[in-house]
Amino acid sequence: MYIGRFAPSPSGRLHFGSLLAALASYLDARSNHGQWLLRIDDIDPPREAQGATLAIIETLQAFGLQWDGEIVYQSQRSAIYQQALDQLKKNALTYPCCCSRKEILKRTGSIIYDNYCWSHPPSKTDNIVWRFKNNSRTLSWSDTILGHQSLDKSQSIDFILKRRDSLWAYQLAVTVDDAAMGINHVVRGCDLLSEASKQLLLIQALNLPKVTFSHIPVVVNSLGQKLSKQNLAPAITTNRIGYQLYSALVMLGQNPHPSLRNADKSDILLQSIANWDPAAIPLKYSTSHRN
Ligand code: GLU
């Protein structure tokens, strides 16, 4: 059974780019008679925006994007991330590291980590990070939209699993949760493309089931900047929902019938599920998003 998901971080409200990711993952799941789950990736409290979680949930509901089952919150799942880290420790696939950025830069002349602490274990146990011992220097996989992908040098470093402030790194939490939730299809923005390789390395290392990735283009504003919560892209409003869904379908190359422009959201979603064509998603959107 197809199980997909939408997994927003509550670092801000949903913007038009997030709506595209939510809609594409929803339509892909529903058109495959699959489940569509919602997970709130709230593992980074310092970056959380007040009220964002509730606003995200209310926006999805307003757009008729109804998920299956209970919402999963990463903030409540520290125990399973710790179990995964313990499993990696047992298999010598993680190690503590105490290097600061400054030290790495001084040693290597770049910010790319040189795996120093693997051969020089730190003597202290506090103020350290846990890094993934990445034994596979090559990895290739196929994205359903972007085609053949392989690791580049910056992705083959021993990346961080647990941070100095004891917070979990995104890659570990997402990989462990996707597996625990039974997710086998991930549809999301291609700003996360380079994370997929790291997730696949962790999937191998933790012996978890495979996931299929589909990365849709990111939306840019009229200045060519990616819409993101960090660069304060405007939050989508819940006015003119039908029109916004219609515009999102046009961006996704779905060629919606013009009569849907002012249709009711449930009619738009039903029609879009029936006509969903992932092969029509462009590699790049032809228009920018006007605010
Ligand atoms: N939580 C991540 C974000 O909002 C996305 C996680 C994912 O789709 O894998 O950027």
**Alpha-carbon gap, residue 174 to 197, rounded angstroms:** 13
Longest dimension (CA), the chain: 68
Q: Looking at the predicted structure, is the pLDDT value of residue 286 above 90?
A: no
Pairwise CA distance, residues 179 & 87, whole Å: 15
CATH code matching the domain that covers 3-75+176-280, chosen among 3.40.50.300, 3.40.50.1970, 3.40.50.620, 3.20.20.20 = 3.40.50.620
- Which residues are CB-contacts of 52 (< 8 A; sequence separation ≥ 6)? 10, 11, 12, 13
Top-tier CATH class for 78-141+149-162: alpha beta
Q: Tell me which residue of 2, 6, 20 sits closest to 228, measured CA to CA.
A: 20
For 14-69, the pLDDT digits (tens) are: 999 999 999 999 999 999 999 999 999 999 999 999 999 999 999 999 999 999 99
**56-107 per-position pLDDT tens digit:** 999 999 999 999 999 999 999 999 999 999 999 999 999 999 999 999 999 9
| Tokens, residue 255 | 């060629």
| Residue ranges of domains in the chain | 3-75+176-280, 78-141+149-162
Q: Helix, strand or coil for residue 146?
A: coil
Give the number of other Cβ atoms within 10 Å of residue 214's Cβ: 19
Confidence of residue 219 (pLDDT cuts 50, 70, 90): confident
| CA–CA dist 78, 29 (Å, integer) | 28
Q: Is the pLDDT of residue 155 over 70?
A: no
- Judged by DSSP in three states, 166 sits in coil
Quote the CA–CA distance of 196 and 188 in Å, as a whole number.
11
What's the rounded Cα separation, in Å, for the pair 99 and 282? 42
Say if CB 32 and CB 187 are below 8 A apart.
no
Nearest CA to ligand 1 atom 7: 7
DSSP three-state, residue 259: helix
Six-digit token string for 231 = 């660069």
pLDDT at 290 (0 to 100): 64
Ligand 1 lined by 42 (C-beta under 6 Å):
no
3-75+176-280 against 78-141+149-162: fold identical: yes
Does the beta carbon of 177 sit less than 6 angstroms from any atom of ligand 1? no
First-residue to last-residue Cα distance in the chain: 39
Q: What is the pTM of this model?
A: 0.94
Higher per-residue confidence, 214 vs 219: 214
Ligand 1 and 174: CB distance under 6 A: yes
Q: Is 242 in the pocket of ligand 1 (CB under 6 A)?
A: no
Under the banding of pLDDT at 50, 70 and 90, the label for residue 230 is: low
